[in-house]
Structure formats: structure tokens, C-alpha cells
Amino acid sequence: MAEYKIYHNPRCSKSRQTLEILNEKGVDVEIVEYLKNPPGKSELTAVIKALGVTPSDIMRKKEAEYQEAGLDQEGLSVEQQVEKMIAYPKVIERPIVVKGNKAVVGRPPENVLDLID
């Protein structure tokens, strides 16, 4: 099992740049193309906890799917937000890199350096 995991979108320049930094540092990284293979509820909840944020903090609010999913409605519970993020993975901010119980969003890509010992 890889020490690092990146939730990656190969079409995103920031995601590609973050992956490039990980590769340059020679770390063992598992690549999860989350648009093809969205994380499950417990996995996404663990990522959110590792980031130390709320689900709303890692949503791409300008994506059409954000409104399509009804994520712009007030009063959604954390559980409802997570379920909608799984159903509409395009709204999940990218890239997210996880190492153990810590995680960072690769915006800017250099944020990943905080996870590398």
C-alpha cells in the first residue's frame, strides 16, 4: 500500500503539477482518479477530517454540478453534503493528497510539501 494517496483529475493542471512534485520527491503514491472512482462515504469523511475542514470548504462552488446537486441549499447536514459530493464528484476540490491522518489540498501544488518529511 502506498504511503501517499492523491485524489487526482488528470485534466486539471494543478492536479498534474501536484502529482509531478510527488513523483520528483520519489514518494510512493496511489493515484485515485476520483471522477471515475469516487470515494465512498467513510473514505470521503476521513479525508475531510484529515484536512480539518467542513465539506463545504472543499467544494467547487462554481461547477454546474454544485447547483445541480442542490449543494447551494442552506441547512444541509454534513452527511447530506458528503452524500451529494459522492454522487457529484466533480464538486470535490482537487487535488487532495493524503498521508496517514493528514491531508492537504494541492492549491497551490506546493502545499503537498507540507506532507513530505
Residue 1's pLDDT band (cuts 50, 70, 90): confident
Catalytic residue among 4, 7, 12, 33, which? 12
Question: In sequence order, what E strands does the chain have?
Answer: 4-8, 29-33, 96-99, 102-105
Q: What is the pLDDT of residues 51-83, one digit of tens each?
A: 999 999 999 999 999 999 999 999 999 999 999
Q: Is 12 a catalytic residue?
A: yes
DSSP class of 92: B
* Across 91-113, average pLDDT: 97
What structural domains does the chain harbor?
4-114 (3.40.30.10)
21-57 pLDDT, tens digit each: 999 999 999 999 999 999 999 999 999 999 999 999 9
Give the separation between CA 17 and CA 44, rounded to whole angstroms: 23
Cell of 92: 470535490
**Phi and psi at residue 42, in whole multiples of 5°?**
-70, -35
Grid cell digits, residue 113 = 510539501
Spell 22-59 as b/e; 16+ CB within 10 A means b. Answer: beeeebebebbebbeebbeeebbeebbebbeeebeebb
